[in-house]
Amino acid sequence: MSPADPAQAAPVLLVEGAGFAYRTADGLLPPVLADLRHRVPAGQMHTVLGPVGAGTSTLCRLVTGLLHDRGETSGTIRVTAPRGDAGTAVMLGDDPEAQLTGMTTRVADELQLPARLHGVSAATARSRAEAAANDLGITDLWDRRVTELSGGQRQLVALAALLGLQPDLLVLDQPGLSLDPTMRGRLSAMLRDYCDAGGAVLVTGHQVDEFATAADQVLALGPSGLASLPLTADAVRAAGVWDARAASAPAPGPTPTAGRRGAPLLAVRGLHAARGDRPVLRGADLDVHAGEVVALMGPNGAGKSTLLRSLLGTLDRRDQVSGTITADGVDLARLPTHERSAHLGWVGQDPGAQLSAPTVRDELMRAAPLPRRPRHVRDEAIREREKQVQQLMRAAGLVEAADEHPFDLDAAQRKDVVIAAALLRRPPVLLLDEPTLGRDAASMSRLVGLIDMQLQRGGGVLATTHDQHWAQAVAHRQLHLDSGRIS
Ligand SMILES: Nc1ncnc2c1ncn2[C@@H]1O[C@H](COP(=O)(O)OP(=O)(O)OP(=O)(O)O)[C@@H](O)[C@H]1O
Ligand SMILES: [Mg+2]
Protein backbone atom coordinates (compact mmCIF):
# COMPACT_ATOMS: atom_id res chain seq x y z
CA MET A 1 0.00 0.00 0.00
CA SER A 2 1.33 3.40 -0.91
CA PRO A 3 0.24 6.19 1.46
CA ALA A 4 0.78 8.61 -1.42
CA ASP A 5 -2.17 7.04 -3.23
CA PRO A 6 -5.35 8.17 -1.46
CA ALA A 7 -7.41 5.34 -2.96
CA GLN A 8 -5.07 2.79 -1.37
CA ALA A 9 -4.33 4.60 1.90
CA ALA A 10 -6.08 3.52 5.11
CA PRO A 11 -8.98 5.84 6.01
CA VAL A 12 -8.24 8.30 8.80
CA LEU A 13 -11.19 6.82 10.70
CA LEU A 14 -12.12 3.17 10.36
CA VAL A 15 -15.22 1.94 12.21
CA GLU A 16 -15.78 -1.78 11.61
CA GLY A 17 -18.58 -3.64 13.40
CA ALA A 18 -18.23 -1.23 16.33
CA GLY A 19 -20.58 -0.93 19.28
CA PHE A 20 -20.71 0.28 22.85
CA ALA A 21 -22.71 -0.57 25.99
CA TYR A 22 -22.48 1.61 29.12
CA ARG A 23 -21.85 -0.08 32.48
CA THR A 24 -23.65 1.00 35.67
CA ALA A 25 -23.44 -0.31 39.24
CA ASP A 26 -26.19 -2.83 38.25
CA GLY A 27 -24.25 -4.20 35.28
CA LEU A 28 -24.09 -3.67 31.56
CA LEU A 29 -26.93 -1.68 29.92
CA PRO A 30 -28.27 -2.59 26.46
CA PRO A 31 -25.85 -1.33 23.77
CA VAL A 32 -26.28 2.30 22.70
CA LEU A 33 -24.42 1.59 19.46
CA ALA A 34 -24.11 -1.75 17.68
CA ASP A 35 -22.37 -3.05 14.58
CA LEU A 36 -21.52 0.35 13.06
CA ARG A 37 -19.50 0.44 9.86
CA HIS A 38 -18.02 3.59 8.43
CA ARG A 39 -14.85 5.15 6.99
CA VAL A 40 -13.76 8.76 6.86
CA PRO A 41 -10.85 9.19 4.41
CA ALA A 42 -8.29 12.00 4.61
CA GLY A 43 -9.62 15.18 3.03
CA GLN A 44 -13.28 14.55 3.91
CA MET A 45 -15.85 15.89 6.33
CA HIS A 46 -18.71 13.58 7.30
CA THR A 47 -21.75 14.58 9.33
CA VAL A 48 -23.73 12.07 11.41
CA LEU A 49 -27.17 13.25 12.53
CA GLY A 50 -29.65 11.59 14.85
CA PRO A 51 -32.35 12.43 17.36
CA VAL A 52 -31.42 12.94 21.03
CA GLY A 53 -30.68 9.49 22.48
CA ALA A 54 -29.58 7.92 19.17
CA GLY A 55 -25.98 7.88 20.40
CA THR A 56 -24.29 10.66 18.43
CA SER A 57 -22.33 11.90 21.47
CA THR A 58 -21.42 8.33 22.42
CA LEU A 59 -20.11 7.84 18.87
CA CYS A 60 -17.89 10.92 19.25
CA ARG A 61 -16.47 9.66 22.55
CA LEU A 62 -16.03 6.17 21.19
CA VAL A 63 -13.95 7.22 18.20
CA THR A 64 -11.81 9.55 20.32
CA GLY A 65 -11.14 6.79 22.87
CA LEU A 66 -12.86 8.53 25.78
CA LEU A 67 -15.13 5.67 26.81
CA HIS A 68 -12.99 2.62 27.41
CA ASP A 69 -13.62 2.24 31.17
CA ARG A 70 -17.25 3.40 31.00
CA GLY A 71 -18.53 0.13 29.51
CA GLU A 72 -17.90 -2.47 26.86
CA THR A 73 -16.67 -1.72 23.36
CA SER A 74 -17.03 -4.17 20.48
CA GLY A 75 -15.55 -4.23 16.97
CA THR A 76 -12.72 -2.10 15.62
CA ILE A 77 -12.16 1.64 15.77
CA ARG A 78 -8.90 2.85 14.29
CA VAL A 79 -7.52 6.33 13.63
CA THR A 80 -4.65 6.34 11.15
CA ALA A 81 -2.25 9.17 10.30
CA PRO A 82 -1.43 9.88 6.62
CA ARG A 83 1.94 8.13 7.01
CA GLY A 84 0.14 4.96 8.07
CA ASP A 85 0.95 4.98 11.78
CA ALA A 86 -1.48 5.55 14.66
CA GLY A 87 -3.26 8.86 14.23
CA THR A 88 -4.56 11.41 16.71
CA ALA A 89 -8.19 12.37 17.24
CA VAL A 90 -9.55 15.20 19.37
CA MET A 91 -13.11 16.11 20.24
CA LEU A 92 -15.12 19.24 21.02
CA GLY A 93 -17.94 18.25 23.38
CA ASP A 94 -21.52 19.43 23.11
CA ASP A 95 -21.94 20.91 26.57
CA PRO A 96 -21.70 24.69 26.21
CA GLU A 97 -21.19 25.00 29.96
CA ALA A 98 -18.14 22.71 29.99
CA GLN A 99 -16.03 23.54 26.95
CA LEU A 100 -13.35 25.74 28.46
CA THR A 101 -10.67 24.23 30.69
CA GLY A 102 -11.22 26.44 33.74
CA MET A 103 -7.42 26.59 34.04
CA THR A 104 -6.78 29.95 32.38
CA THR A 105 -7.82 33.56 32.83
CA ARG A 106 -7.07 35.02 29.38
CA VAL A 107 -8.23 33.85 25.98
CA ALA A 108 -4.63 33.87 24.66
CA ASP A 109 -3.62 31.31 27.31
CA GLU A 110 -6.75 29.18 26.79
CA LEU A 111 -6.02 29.01 23.05
CA GLN A 112 -2.50 27.71 23.66
CA LEU A 113 -3.15 25.42 26.62
CA PRO A 114 -4.11 22.13 24.86
CA ALA A 115 -1.06 22.31 22.57
CA ARG A 116 1.22 23.18 25.52
CA LEU A 117 -0.17 20.21 27.49
CA HIS A 118 0.67 17.97 24.52
CA GLY A 119 4.31 19.03 24.54
CA VAL A 120 4.19 21.59 21.73
CA SER A 121 6.79 24.35 22.18
CA ALA A 122 5.62 27.77 23.40
CA ALA A 123 6.49 29.49 20.11
CA THR A 124 4.67 26.90 17.98
CA ALA A 125 1.64 26.81 20.29
CA ARG A 126 1.41 30.59 20.03
CA SER A 127 1.69 30.70 16.24
CA ARG A 128 -0.95 27.94 15.90
CA ALA A 129 -3.26 29.79 18.29
CA GLU A 130 -2.80 33.03 16.35
CA ALA A 131 -3.55 31.25 13.07
CA ALA A 132 -6.70 29.59 14.45
CA ALA A 133 -7.92 32.86 16.00
CA ASN A 134 -7.32 34.58 12.68
CA ASP A 135 -9.13 31.89 10.68
CA LEU A 136 -12.13 32.04 13.01
CA GLY A 137 -12.18 35.86 13.09
CA ILE A 138 -11.69 36.09 16.86
CA THR A 139 -8.35 37.93 17.08
CA ASP A 140 -10.16 40.75 18.93
CA LEU A 141 -10.81 38.32 21.80
CA TRP A 142 -7.07 37.54 22.32
CA ASP A 143 -6.62 39.68 25.45
CA ARG A 144 -10.11 39.12 26.87
CA ARG A 145 -10.84 37.30 30.11
CA VAL A 146 -12.44 33.91 29.46
CA THR A 147 -15.20 34.70 31.97
CA GLU A 148 -16.26 37.71 29.89
CA LEU A 149 -17.14 35.93 26.65
CA SER A 150 -20.58 35.51 25.12
CA GLY A 151 -21.84 31.93 24.59
CA GLY A 152 -20.81 31.88 20.92
CA GLN A 153 -17.44 33.50 21.60
CA ARG A 154 -16.74 30.79 24.19
CA GLN A 155 -17.58 28.07 21.66
CA LEU A 156 -15.19 29.60 19.11
CA VAL A 157 -12.37 29.87 21.65
CA ALA A 158 -12.83 26.20 22.63
CA LEU A 159 -12.69 25.19 18.98
CA ALA A 160 -9.65 27.31 18.14
CA ALA A 161 -7.81 25.78 21.13
CA LEU A 162 -8.42 22.27 19.76
CA LEU A 163 -7.25 23.27 16.28
CA GLY A 164 -3.87 24.06 17.87
CA LEU A 165 -3.42 20.30 18.39
CA GLN A 166 -3.52 19.70 14.62
CA PRO A 167 -5.10 16.26 14.98
CA ASP A 168 -5.53 13.83 12.08
CA LEU A 169 -9.21 13.52 12.97
CA LEU A 170 -11.27 16.39 14.34
CA VAL A 171 -14.50 15.24 16.02
CA LEU A 172 -17.06 17.96 16.71
CA ASP A 173 -20.25 17.27 18.62
CA GLN A 174 -22.78 19.97 17.65
CA PRO A 175 -20.17 22.60 16.74
CA GLY A 176 -22.84 25.06 15.59
CA LEU A 177 -24.59 24.98 18.95
CA SER A 178 -24.09 28.60 20.05
CA LEU A 179 -22.99 30.14 16.76
CA ASP A 180 -24.76 32.71 14.62
CA PRO A 181 -25.43 31.75 10.98
CA THR A 182 -22.44 33.74 9.65
CA MET A 183 -20.11 32.05 12.12
CA ARG A 184 -21.54 28.61 11.30
CA GLY A 185 -20.82 29.30 7.62
CA ARG A 186 -17.31 30.58 8.35
CA LEU A 187 -16.50 27.59 10.54
CA SER A 188 -17.77 25.04 8.04
CA ALA A 189 -15.68 26.73 5.31
CA MET A 190 -12.69 26.54 7.64
CA LEU A 191 -13.29 22.84 8.22
CA ARG A 192 -13.31 22.35 4.46
CA ASP A 193 -9.87 24.03 4.33
CA TYR A 194 -8.74 21.73 7.13
CA CYS A 195 -9.79 18.75 5.01
CA ASP A 196 -8.12 20.20 1.90
CA ALA A 197 -4.89 20.29 3.91
CA GLY A 198 -5.22 16.53 4.54
CA GLY A 199 -7.25 16.40 7.76
CA ALA A 200 -10.50 14.54 8.33
CA VAL A 201 -13.56 15.80 10.21
CA LEU A 202 -16.49 14.01 11.82
CA VAL A 203 -19.37 16.27 12.89
CA THR A 204 -22.40 14.99 14.81
CA GLY A 205 -25.62 16.63 15.92
CA HIS A 206 -29.40 16.75 16.03
CA GLN A 207 -29.92 19.49 13.44
CA VAL A 208 -29.38 20.01 9.72
CA ASP A 209 -27.28 23.16 9.45
CA GLU A 210 -24.24 24.49 7.57
CA PHE A 211 -22.14 21.54 8.80
CA ALA A 212 -24.44 19.12 7.05
CA THR A 213 -24.71 21.07 3.82
CA ALA A 214 -20.90 21.47 3.61
CA ALA A 215 -20.17 17.77 4.32
CA ASP A 216 -18.95 15.18 1.80
CA GLN A 217 -21.34 12.67 3.32
CA VAL A 218 -24.36 13.04 5.62
CA LEU A 219 -25.50 9.99 7.57
CA ALA A 220 -28.41 9.26 9.88
CA LEU A 221 -27.77 7.31 13.07
CA GLY A 222 -30.81 5.24 14.02
CA PRO A 223 -31.68 1.93 15.70
CA SER A 224 -30.39 0.00 12.68
CA GLY A 225 -27.08 1.84 12.53
CA LEU A 226 -25.71 4.34 10.04
CA ALA A 227 -27.42 5.06 6.73
CA SER A 228 -26.94 7.72 4.11
CA LEU A 229 -29.23 10.73 4.74
CA PRO A 230 -30.40 12.74 1.72
CA LEU A 231 -31.17 16.30 2.84
CA THR A 232 -34.77 16.28 1.62
CA ALA A 233 -37.57 17.46 3.95
CA ASP A 234 -39.11 13.97 4.17
CA ALA A 235 -35.85 12.14 4.89
CA VAL A 236 -34.83 14.71 7.50
CA ARG A 237 -38.22 14.45 9.21
CA ALA A 238 -38.06 10.65 9.19
CA ALA A 239 -34.60 10.80 10.80
CA GLY A 240 -36.11 12.78 13.72
CA VAL A 241 -33.65 15.66 13.39
CA TRP A 242 -34.50 19.36 13.25
CA ASP A 243 -34.05 21.21 9.98
CA ALA A 244 -32.43 24.53 10.88
CA ARG A 245 -32.03 25.64 7.26
CA ALA A 246 -33.74 29.00 6.85
CA ALA A 247 -35.68 27.94 3.77
CA SER A 248 -36.75 24.51 5.03
CA ALA A 249 -40.34 23.27 5.16
CA PRO A 250 -42.67 25.17 7.53
CA ALA A 251 -42.64 23.86 11.08
CA PRO A 252 -45.62 23.87 13.44
CA GLY A 253 -45.70 27.07 15.51
CA PRO A 254 -47.66 27.93 18.65
CA THR A 255 -51.43 28.22 18.60
CA PRO A 256 -52.35 31.65 17.17
CA THR A 257 -53.39 34.08 19.90
CA ALA A 258 -54.75 37.62 19.92
CA GLY A 259 -51.24 39.15 20.04
CA ARG A 260 -50.33 42.87 19.87
CA ARG A 261 -53.62 44.24 21.15
CA GLY A 262 -53.73 46.80 23.93
CA ALA A 263 -50.80 47.96 26.02
CA PRO A 264 -47.66 45.83 25.87
CA LEU A 265 -46.83 43.55 28.80
CA LEU A 266 -43.26 44.80 28.57
CA ALA A 267 -42.02 48.05 27.04
CA VAL A 268 -38.30 48.81 26.90
CA ARG A 269 -37.09 52.27 25.87
CA GLY A 270 -33.61 53.69 25.44
CA LEU A 271 -31.83 50.76 27.10
CA HIS A 272 -28.09 51.35 27.43
CA ALA A 273 -25.75 48.80 28.96
CA ALA A 274 -21.98 48.64 29.32
CA ARG A 275 -20.11 45.53 30.46
CA GLY A 276 -17.29 47.09 32.45
CA ASP A 277 -16.06 49.89 30.18
CA ARG A 278 -17.33 48.17 26.97
CA PRO A 279 -20.60 49.70 25.68
CA VAL A 280 -22.94 46.90 24.49
CA LEU A 281 -26.46 48.35 24.26
CA ARG A 282 -26.84 51.90 22.89
CA GLY A 283 -30.51 52.78 23.19
CA ALA A 284 -32.44 49.56 22.53
CA ASP A 285 -36.27 49.69 22.30
CA LEU A 286 -38.70 46.78 22.23
CA ASP A 287 -42.23 45.72 23.23
CA VAL A 288 -43.70 42.34 24.10
CA HIS A 289 -47.50 41.95 23.96
CA ALA A 290 -49.80 39.37 25.48
CA GLY A 291 -50.01 36.22 23.35
CA GLU A 292 -46.86 37.10 21.41
CA VAL A 293 -43.50 35.42 20.82
CA VAL A 294 -40.77 37.91 19.91
CA ALA A 295 -37.50 36.47 18.57
CA LEU A 296 -34.36 38.49 19.27
CA MET A 297 -31.60 37.67 16.81
CA GLY A 298 -28.16 39.08 16.12
CA PRO A 299 -24.50 38.12 15.79
CA ASN A 300 -22.48 36.41 18.51
CA GLY A 301 -21.45 39.04 21.04
CA ALA A 302 -24.11 41.56 19.89
CA GLY A 303 -25.54 41.78 23.41
CA LYS A 304 -28.66 39.58 23.38
CA SER A 305 -27.87 37.92 26.71
CA THR A 306 -26.78 41.27 28.11
CA LEU A 307 -30.18 42.70 27.14
CA LEU A 308 -32.17 39.94 28.86
CA ARG A 309 -30.04 40.21 31.98
CA SER A 310 -30.38 44.03 31.98
CA LEU A 311 -34.15 43.63 32.07
CA LEU A 312 -33.92 41.41 35.12
CA GLY A 313 -31.12 43.41 36.75
CA THR A 314 -28.61 40.56 37.01
CA LEU A 315 -25.55 42.08 35.36
CA ASP A 316 -22.41 42.57 37.43
CA ARG A 317 -22.35 45.42 39.93
CA ARG A 318 -19.69 47.26 37.86
CA ASP A 319 -21.85 47.10 34.68
CA GLN A 320 -23.81 50.26 33.86
CA VAL A 321 -27.48 50.09 32.76
CA SER A 322 -29.92 52.92 32.02
CA GLY A 323 -33.28 53.30 30.27
CA THR A 324 -36.89 52.48 31.14
CA ILE A 325 -38.34 48.99 31.47
CA THR A 326 -42.10 49.20 31.95
CA ALA A 327 -44.32 46.28 32.94
CA ASP A 328 -47.85 46.62 34.28
CA GLY A 329 -47.38 50.40 34.61
CA VAL A 330 -44.29 49.99 36.81
CA ASP A 331 -40.74 51.02 35.83
CA LEU A 332 -38.85 47.82 36.65
CA ALA A 333 -35.52 49.64 36.29
CA ARG A 334 -36.19 51.12 39.74
CA LEU A 335 -36.87 47.76 41.37
CA PRO A 336 -34.50 45.13 42.74
CA THR A 337 -34.19 41.83 40.83
CA HIS A 338 -36.44 39.83 43.16
CA GLU A 339 -39.31 42.26 42.53
CA ARG A 340 -38.66 42.33 38.76
CA SER A 341 -38.90 38.55 38.69
CA ALA A 342 -42.61 38.75 39.53
CA HIS A 343 -43.00 40.22 36.00
CA LEU A 344 -40.19 38.44 34.14
CA GLY A 345 -39.29 34.72 34.11
CA TRP A 346 -35.67 34.48 32.97
CA VAL A 347 -34.14 31.30 31.51
CA GLY A 348 -30.45 32.07 30.99
CA GLN A 349 -28.17 30.90 28.20
CA ASP A 350 -26.33 28.63 30.68
CA PRO A 351 -29.15 26.99 32.63
CA GLY A 352 -26.74 25.23 35.02
CA ALA A 353 -26.48 28.35 37.15
CA GLN A 354 -30.24 28.21 37.79
CA LEU A 355 -30.36 24.59 38.96
CA SER A 356 -29.80 23.66 42.59
CA ALA A 357 -31.91 20.61 43.54
CA PRO A 358 -30.76 16.96 43.51
CA THR A 359 -33.55 15.81 41.15
CA VAL A 360 -35.66 17.28 38.37
CA ARG A 361 -38.84 16.77 40.44
CA ASP A 362 -37.35 18.56 43.48
CA GLU A 363 -36.17 21.41 41.27
CA LEU A 364 -39.73 21.97 40.07
CA MET A 365 -41.37 21.37 43.46
CA ARG A 366 -39.30 24.20 44.94
CA ALA A 367 -39.53 26.50 41.87
CA ALA A 368 -41.89 28.90 43.65
CA PRO A 369 -42.41 29.45 47.39
CA LEU A 370 -45.12 27.37 49.12
CA PRO A 371 -47.09 28.71 52.12
CA ARG A 372 -45.51 27.53 55.40
CA ARG A 373 -48.70 27.42 57.48
CA PRO A 374 -51.37 26.64 58.42
CA ARG A 375 -50.61 22.96 57.89
CA HIS A 376 -53.74 22.14 55.85
CA VAL A 377 -53.14 25.08 53.48
CA ARG A 378 -49.54 24.00 53.00
CA ASP A 379 -50.56 20.36 52.37
CA GLU A 380 -53.15 21.46 49.82
CA ALA A 381 -50.59 23.73 48.07
CA ILE A 382 -48.11 20.84 47.90
CA ARG A 383 -50.73 18.55 46.33
CA GLU A 384 -51.59 21.26 43.79
CA ARG A 385 -47.89 21.82 43.03
CA GLU A 386 -47.37 18.08 42.54
CA LYS A 387 -50.14 18.07 39.92
CA GLN A 388 -48.66 21.09 38.11
CA VAL A 389 -45.17 19.58 38.21
CA GLN A 390 -46.43 16.30 36.75
CA GLN A 391 -48.25 18.18 33.96
CA LEU A 392 -45.17 20.26 33.16
CA MET A 393 -42.85 17.25 33.21
CA ARG A 394 -45.18 15.54 30.72
CA ALA A 395 -45.22 18.59 28.45
CA ALA A 396 -41.42 18.93 28.65
CA GLY A 397 -40.75 15.21 28.12
CA LEU A 398 -39.12 15.01 31.56
CA VAL A 399 -41.25 12.27 33.20
CA GLU A 400 -38.56 9.62 32.77
CA ALA A 401 -35.92 12.03 34.06
CA ALA A 402 -37.96 13.01 37.16
CA ASP A 403 -35.53 11.36 39.59
CA GLU A 404 -32.34 12.22 37.69
CA HIS A 405 -29.91 14.87 38.81
CA PRO A 406 -30.48 17.90 36.54
CA PHE A 407 -26.74 18.05 35.78
CA ASP A 408 -26.94 14.54 34.26
CA LEU A 409 -29.32 15.79 31.56
CA ASP A 410 -28.23 17.18 28.21
CA ALA A 411 -28.15 20.95 27.67
CA ALA A 412 -31.61 21.17 26.03
CA GLN A 413 -33.24 19.13 28.80
CA ARG A 414 -31.52 21.23 31.48
CA LYS A 415 -33.04 24.25 29.79
CA ASP A 416 -36.48 22.60 29.77
CA VAL A 417 -36.26 22.12 33.53
CA VAL A 418 -35.53 25.83 33.98
CA ILE A 419 -38.34 26.81 31.56
CA ALA A 420 -40.78 24.56 33.46
CA ALA A 421 -39.65 26.13 36.76
CA ALA A 422 -40.19 29.61 35.30
CA LEU A 423 -43.70 28.63 34.11
CA LEU A 424 -44.57 27.50 37.64
CA ARG A 425 -43.95 31.05 38.83
CA ARG A 426 -46.45 32.34 36.19
CA PRO A 427 -44.60 35.53 35.12
CA PRO A 428 -46.37 37.71 32.51
CA VAL A 429 -43.27 37.64 30.28
CA LEU A 430 -40.83 34.76 29.76
CA LEU A 431 -37.28 35.70 28.74
CA LEU A 432 -35.69 32.69 27.03
CA ASP A 433 -31.98 32.94 26.16
CA GLU A 434 -31.18 30.52 23.29
CA PRO A 435 -33.96 27.99 24.01
CA THR A 436 -33.37 26.25 20.64
CA LEU A 437 -29.80 25.04 21.30
CA GLY A 438 -29.11 21.36 20.65
CA ARG A 439 -32.70 20.23 20.03
CA ASP A 440 -33.96 17.51 17.71
CA ALA A 441 -37.39 17.68 16.03
CA ALA A 442 -39.30 16.20 19.00
CA SER A 443 -37.56 18.49 21.48
CA MET A 444 -38.42 21.52 19.31
CA SER A 445 -42.12 20.61 19.41
CA ARG A 446 -41.98 20.17 23.19
CA LEU A 447 -40.49 23.67 23.39
CA VAL A 448 -43.40 25.00 21.32
CA GLY A 449 -45.76 23.21 23.75
CA LEU A 450 -44.17 24.98 26.74
CA ILE A 451 -44.29 28.33 24.96
CA ASP A 452 -47.93 27.67 24.10
CA MET A 453 -48.77 27.29 27.81
CA GLN A 454 -47.35 30.74 28.43
CA LEU A 455 -49.30 32.29 25.53
CA GLN A 456 -52.57 30.57 26.41
CA ARG A 457 -52.51 32.05 29.88
CA GLY A 458 -52.12 35.53 28.36
CA GLY A 459 -48.36 35.84 28.74
CA GLY A 460 -45.69 36.83 26.24
CA VAL A 461 -42.26 35.47 25.30
CA LEU A 462 -39.00 37.18 24.33
CA ALA A 463 -36.56 34.55 23.03
CA THR A 464 -33.05 34.94 21.64
CA THR A 465 -32.08 32.44 18.95
CA HIS A 466 -29.62 31.81 16.11
CA ASP A 467 -32.13 29.51 14.41
CA GLN A 468 -33.73 31.42 11.52
CA HIS A 469 -36.09 28.57 10.69
CA TRP A 470 -37.39 28.41 14.25
CA ALA A 471 -37.83 32.20 14.36
CA GLN A 472 -39.82 32.11 11.11
CA ALA A 473 -42.00 29.26 12.36
CA VAL A 474 -42.60 30.24 15.95
CA ALA A 475 -42.11 34.00 16.41
CA HIS A 476 -44.83 36.53 15.67
CA ARG A 477 -42.10 39.16 15.24
CA GLN A 478 -38.34 39.02 14.68
CA LEU A 479 -36.07 41.74 16.04
CA HIS A 480 -32.39 42.15 15.17
CA LEU A 481 -29.84 43.47 17.62
CA ASP A 482 -26.69 44.84 16.07
CA SER A 483 -24.31 47.64 17.11
CA GLY A 484 -26.29 48.05 20.32
CA ARG A 485 -29.63 48.89 18.68
CA ILE A 486 -32.69 46.89 17.74
CA SER A 487 -34.27 46.99 14.28
N1 LIG B 1 -19.12 39.34 32.16
C2 LIG B 1 -18.73 40.09 31.14
N3 LIG B 1 -17.84 41.09 31.28
C4 LIG B 1 -17.45 41.86 30.25
N5 LIG B 1 -17.88 41.71 29.00
C6 LIG B 1 -18.77 40.73 28.77
C7 LIG B 1 -19.24 39.87 29.81
N8 LIG B 1 -20.11 38.98 29.26
C9 LIG B 1 -20.19 39.28 27.95
N10 LIG B 1 -19.39 40.32 27.67
C11 LIG B 1 -19.20 40.96 26.36
O12 LIG B 1 -20.37 41.73 26.06
C13 LIG B 1 -20.72 41.61 24.68
C14 LIG B 1 -22.15 41.06 24.58
O15 LIG B 1 -22.17 39.74 25.12
P16 LIG B 1 -23.50 38.89 25.17
O17 LIG B 1 -23.21 37.67 25.93
O18 LIG B 1 -24.60 39.75 25.64
O19 LIG B 1 -23.69 38.57 23.59
P20 LIG B 1 -24.77 37.66 22.87
O21 LIG B 1 -25.44 38.50 21.82
O22 LIG B 1 -25.66 37.03 23.87
O23 LIG B 1 -23.83 36.59 22.15
P24 LIG B 1 -24.06 35.02 21.85
O25 LIG B 1 -24.92 34.96 20.62
O26 LIG B 1 -22.69 34.53 21.55
O27 LIG B 1 -24.68 34.41 23.05
C28 LIG B 1 -19.65 40.69 24.07
O29 LIG B 1 -18.65 41.48 23.50
C30 LIG B 1 -19.09 39.94 25.25
O31 LIG B 1 -17.75 39.56 25.03
MG1 LIG C 1 -25.96 35.09 24.43
pLDDT in tens, 127-185: 999 999 999 999 999 999 999 999 999 999 999 999 999 999 999 999 999 999 999 99
Please identify, by atom number, the ligand 1 atom nearest to the C-alpha of residue 154.
26
Ligand 1 probe mutation, 306, 310, 315, most atoms within 8 A of CB: 306
Is the shortest distance between the CB of 274 and ligand 1 below 6 Å?
Answer: no
Of the ligands numbered here, which is closest to the C-alpha atom of 316? 1
**Which domains are seen in the chain, by residue range?**
13-243 (3.40.50.300), 266-486 (3.40.50.300)
Please identify, by atom number, the ligand 1 atom nearest to the C-alpha of residue 466.
25
Please identify, by atom number, the ligand 1 atom nearest to the C-alpha of residue 150.
17
Residue of the nearest CA to atom 18 in ligand 1?
A: 303
For residue 374, whether the previous peptide bond is cis, meaning omega lies within 30 degrees of 0, is yes
Residue 248, pLDDT score: 72
Q: Could you tell me where the DSSP H helices lie in 2-121? A: 56-63, 107-117
Residue of the nearest CA to atom 16 in ligand 1?
A: 303
DSSP of 416-479: HHHHHHHHHT--SEEEEESTTTT--HHHHHHHHHHHHHHHHTT-EEEEE-S-HHHHHHH-SEEE
Distance from residue 307's CA to the centre of ligand 1 (Å): 10
Calculate helix-pair angle for 411-424, 375-395, nearest 10 degrees.
Answer: 140
Q: How many CB atoms lie within 10 A of CB 34?
A: 17
Beta pairing partners, 362: none
Is the shortest distance between the CB of 114 and ligand 1 below 6 Å?
Answer: no
Residue 260, pLDDT score: 62
Residue 1, pLDDT score: 36
Residue 2, pLDDT score: 41
> Which protein residues have a CB closer than 5 Å to ligand 2 (ion)?
150-151, 304-305, 349
Is the shortest distance between the CB of 465 and ligand 1 below 6 Å?
Answer: no
Distance from residue 220's CA to the centre of ligand 2 (Å): 30
Assess contact for 48 and 55: CB atoms under 8 A. no
Is the shortest distance between the CB of 96 and ligand 1 below 6 Å?
Answer: no
Instruction: Report the alpha-carbon distance of residue 368 to residue 147 in Å, rounded.
Output: 30
Is the shortest distance between the CB of 252 and ligand 1 below 6 Å?
Answer: no
Instruction: Report the alpha-carbon distance of residue 27 to residue 9 in Å, rounded.
Output: 40
Of the ligands numbered here, which is closest to the C-alpha atom of 309? 1
Q: What is the DSSP letter of 290?
A: T
Closest CA to 301 of 381, 193, 209, 182: 182
Of the ligands numbered here, which is closest to the C-alpha atom of 177? 1
CA distances from 227 to 36, 73, 454 (A): 10, 21, 39
Distance from residue 6's CA to the centre of ligand 1 (Å): 44
For the chain, list residues with pLDDT below 50. Answer: 1-4
Distance from residue 148's CA to the centre of ligand 1 (Å): 7
Residue 249, pLDDT score: 72
